[in-house]
Amino acid sequence: MKRYKVAYATGSRADYGIVKNYLKLLDDDKEIAFSLLVTGSHLENKFGHSIDIIKQDGFKIELEVPLNIENSNNANVIHSMAIALDSFGKYFEQHDFDLLIILGDRYEMMAVAIAASMQKIPILHLHGGEVTFGNYDEFIRHSITKMSQYHFTSTEVYRKRVIQLGENPERVFYLGALGAENCCKIDKKRVVEDVKVRSSQKYWVIAFHPETLTDMKMEDQVEEVLLALKKFSDNINVVFIGTNADTKSDIIRSAWLNYVKNNVNAYYYENLNVDSFLYLVKNSIALIGNSSSGIIETPSLGKYTINIGDRQKGRVHGSSVIDVTCNANEISQAMKHVINRIRKNEKISNPYYVENSAKNYYEKTKEILEKGISIIKEFYDIV
């Protein structure tokens, strides 16, 4: 008989791809009744309907909560949060768990965390303590930290910051980033054929998302990125990855699709499984954009990142990540700089990589379950 009921709430392809190997270990444990609670962009056709990837991986999906995401403005995003809060609140009223696992900082995860906390369900929070000054993810992440009983952080710096937020050190564990380890375990059998063909060419990968706390218009940000790419269009391909469900992300998506329509050397993937995405980046020149994958995962693939703007500002990162403002000249200069550094064959290291992180996550989770979790916690004061 299963002893522990554990669930993971996922709202996007990004968080699911990071934790898949960890979740598989939990799912394979005969003492754990494991379920996935699915919401957010996973259930939206315009974002690639990535719940199909979860189903292909064979996980039991306990709950689907469509949010009918309309992200043209913050009011609509808040409405999606309200739907999530209401739906998960009702679900947790009828379904209890020994532990709910949540990763990061998405707005739909904020609603899930509130619902679980109100229904006295313990939360294990992954990737807390990080900072990203250019996005509302910043305050959402720290808010989820305060609703959680346990924390797995991706660096020691972040572990200390979670403790600074008043969390007991005995409940905060630095175990590395699962995404950094995933890069070393790409399953080539799961790489889609079109990506294998594309990876035989010379190309840049673009993974760009909205900055939601800065003043620069989304249309202007997109234009600066495209101006930089046009300077490198001859004999070099550009591969765009679909953006997320943040406010005004549709502006980015439309711009990329229009560029692809008018440029024979440009390609677009709305959604890829994690192995295909990592394989694509591994065989690219470099990753350009403002995705956390450029900070946390790309260095483990031995590739450089051109990190644009303030979306990831504040994150710990290695020397292979080159920070630029959202300016076409700066971006194009960084592209030239990357090519020069590639020629020098410099060694790339990743501060997020910890060996056997998925196994360590699983073993620590099992230890927490066996110890028993009290929903009550006190604020930890640093003396």
Q: Do the domains at 4-176+354-371 and 188-343 have one common CATH topology?
A: yes
Q: What is the pLDDT of residue 286?
A: 97
Domains of the chain by residue range = 4-176+354-371, 188-343
Class of domain 188-343: alpha beta
Taking each helix axis as running N to C, give the angle between helix 357-371 and helix 13-28, from 0 to 180 degrees, rounded to the nearest 10.
60
Collect all residues with Cβ–Cβ distance below 8 Å to 18 and sequence separation of at least 6: 103, 177, 178, 179, 182, 274
Q: 4 by DSSP, 3-state: which?
A: strand
Per-residue pLDDT of the chain (383 residues; tens, 9 = 90+): 679 999 999 999 989 999 999 999 999 999 999 999 999 999 999 888 999 999 999 998 999 999 988 888 899 999 999 999 999 999 999 999 999 999 989 999 999 999 999 999 999 999 999 998 878 889 999 999 999 999 999 999 999 999 999 999 999 999 999 999 999 999 999 999 999 999 999 999 999 999 877 888 999 999 999 999 988 766 789 999 999 888 899 999 999 999 999 999 999 999 899 999 999 999 999 999 999 999 999 999 999 999 999 999 889 999 999 999 999 999 999 999 999 999 999 999 999 999 999 999 999 999 999 999 999 999 999 98
Phi-psi group of 174: left, alpha or beta (phi > 0 → left; psi -120 to 50 → alpha; rest → beta): beta
Q: What is the pLDDT of residue 249?
A: 92
pLDDT tens sequence across 248-302: 999 999 999 999 999 999 999 998 999 999 999 999 999 999 999 999 999 999 9
- CATH value of 4-176+354-371 in 1.10.540.10, 3.40.50.300, 3.40.50.2000, 3.10.180.10: 3.40.50.2000
For residues 377 and 256, what is the distance between their CA atoms, to the nearest angstrom? Answer: 47
Q: What is the pLDDT of residue 233?
A: 65
How far, in Å, are 2, 149, 159, 368 from residue 374 at the CA level?
A: 20, 8, 21, 10
Taking each helix axis as running N to C, give the angle between helix 328-343 and helix 218-230, from 0 to 180 degrees, rounded to the nearest 10.
40
Q: What is the pLDDT of residue 268?
A: 97
For residues 109 and 245, what is the distance between their CA atoms, to the nearest angstrom? Answer: 13
* 312's tokens: 């990831």
Q: Please provide the average confidence, as pLDDT, over all residues in the chain.
A: 94
> Are 70 and 94 in contact, with CB atoms under 8 Å apart?
no
DSSP string, 198-228: HTTS-EEEEE----SSSSS-HHHHHHHHHHH
